[in-house]
A and B are shown apart, each in its own frame.
Chain A
Amino acid sequence: MEQDKKLVELILKGERERFGVLVERYQRAIYRFLMNMGLDHDEAADTMQNAFVKAYDKLHTLRGGEHFRVWLYSIAANQARNYMRRRARELPLEEPDMPVHEEDPGLLVEREQLRSLLSGALKRLPEDQRKVVVLRAFENMPFKEVAEVCSISLSNAKTSYHRALKKMQRWLKPVASRMNLENQG
């Protein structure tokens, strides 16, 4: 498998059709990232297409092709910003109403409920914190790259992550006592 750096070099030398390999390589990850950022399917599909086309147009501005992946995430995140801002207006950053299973204290929250709770909590995080959590926890990105995608310092990336987890923990607390979170998954 050719490395991103090599592919970018070849594309810039004129083998532009090779950009297809990069699309195939990253489309699933970018889609998942956008969906986790709170976009719906159609928005994620549009944003992903725009991100790839923009990356194709601006490829000559990328210094060091090995950073293509991080650069692509940055483009996708920027492209998604409009949608996310609209989401933020629609979902004010208040304490979300998390379902509490008062009727059955012994009930273990099922995986599906946990998924929905976490997904709801993620969507209610401020955009910058959500981005950090999604990149770190779901995309397994090192903090250094997270910081690059988000255009923030390394320490800011870690601080945002800390605050986001704390916030989520507070939101999930009402049900956390009945959820054996460690054993979920």
Chain B
Amino acid sequence: MDCPIDEILLIDYLEGELEPKMARQVEQHLEACRPCRAEYESLLKVKQALAGVKESVVDQPPESFWQENFQAVARATYERDSSTGVSGGKVLSFPRFSRLRILAAAAIVLLALAGVLRLGLGPIGPPRGPSAELAQVTEANQAYVDSLYQLAETIYQYQIALNAMESMVELGADQENGYVPAGMEVPAYSSVYDGLAELEDNQLQQVMYALASDL
């Protein structure tokens, strides 16, 4: 073929990798040369089709998969280093489970909110004195408050389990056997206010925003 456009030049043009001057020359050629234009258009269609499905070709595994993979790599590298004495017993730094930490923080705030709901929401209807009012509020919101508590506790316990897991790995425990080293401190269940005090300002702010948009 006498065409000045070889396959590499065509790909460079297709992928936008040519200098403007060269790109214009190729463009002019494509306008004049039917076979080259047909080839370019057919390549472009496949490229665009691939771009269109790029995000969806692979099904995303659940979030826990990434943590499991991380732990598997952490275990394997730790074992290797332990056998060679390279790292002095260090293991890979765990990624920041930021989402879980925020969930745990959210749980603490939910507990606090649940407390507020217990005491703070006024009833509809004529006032009947503080005690009657509280009784009515408590009754009306009991199911909601209970579910909040339940949710909060579940999330909070999950965070505790996660912390425990981190500690186990840090201490080089054998997770597969479920062995918990003696003397390992599992964080105790904190009170609402202890929990709140532990939060960093930005975490607390994020949680409050998230809750404000949900409630």
In B58-77, the 8 Å CB interface with A consists of 58, 61, 65-66, 69-70, 72-74, 76-77
B48 contacts A by Cβ under 8 Å: yes
B74 engages A185 (CB within 8 Å): no
The contact of A133 among B50, B65, B74, by CB within 8 Å, is: B50
A94 contacts B by Cβ under 8 Å: no
B92 engages A168 (CB within 8 Å): no
Classify the interface of chain A: helix, strand, loop or mixed. Answer: helix
A56 to chain B, nearest CB (A): 5
B94 engages A20 (CB within 8 Å): yes
Which segment, of A41-49, A69-77, A84-92, A97-105, faces chain B?
A41-49
The contact of B92 among A17, A159, A184, by CB within 8 Å, is: A17
Interface digits, A131-154 against B, CB 8 Å rule (1 contact, 0 not)? 001001110000100000000000
A: number of interface residues (CB 8 Å): 52
A168 to chain B, nearest CB (A): 5
Q: List 15 A-B contacts (CB under 8 A).
A: A16-B87, A18-B93, A19-B77, A20-B94, A27-B70, A32-B58, A49-B76, A53-B76, A111-B53, A115-B57, A137-B54, A165-B43, A165-B46, A168-B46, A169-B46
In A142-185, the 8 Å CB interface with B consists of 143, 155, 158-159, 161-163, 165-166, 168-169, 172, 176, 179, 181-182, 184-185
B interface with A by C-beta (< 8 Å): 7-8, 10-12, 15, 17, 39, 42-54, 56-58, 61, 65-66, 69-70, 72-74, 76-77, 80-81, 86-87, 90-95
Kindly state the separation between the CA atoms of A124 and B92 in the bound complex, as whole angstroms.
38
B52 engages A185 (CB within 8 Å): yes
B201 to chain A, nearest CB (A): 22
A140 to chain B, nearest CB (A): 9
The contact of B7 among A27, A138, A162, by CB within 8 Å, is: A162
Chain B contacts of A169 at CB under 8 A? 42-43, 45-46
A108 to chain B, nearest CB (A): 13
The contact of B74 among A20, A136, A181, by CB within 8 Å, is: A20
Kindly state the separation between the CA atoms of A35 and B171 in the bound complex, as whole angstroms.
34
B50 engages A118 (CB within 8 Å): yes
Chain B contacts of A16 at CB under 8 A? 77, 81, 86-87, 90, 92
Given contacts A27-B69, A45-B65, A158-B7, contact A20 B52 (CB under 8 A): no
Chain B contacts of A48 at CB under 8 A? 69
Given contacts A118-B49, A176-B45, contact A143 B15 (CB under 8 A): yes
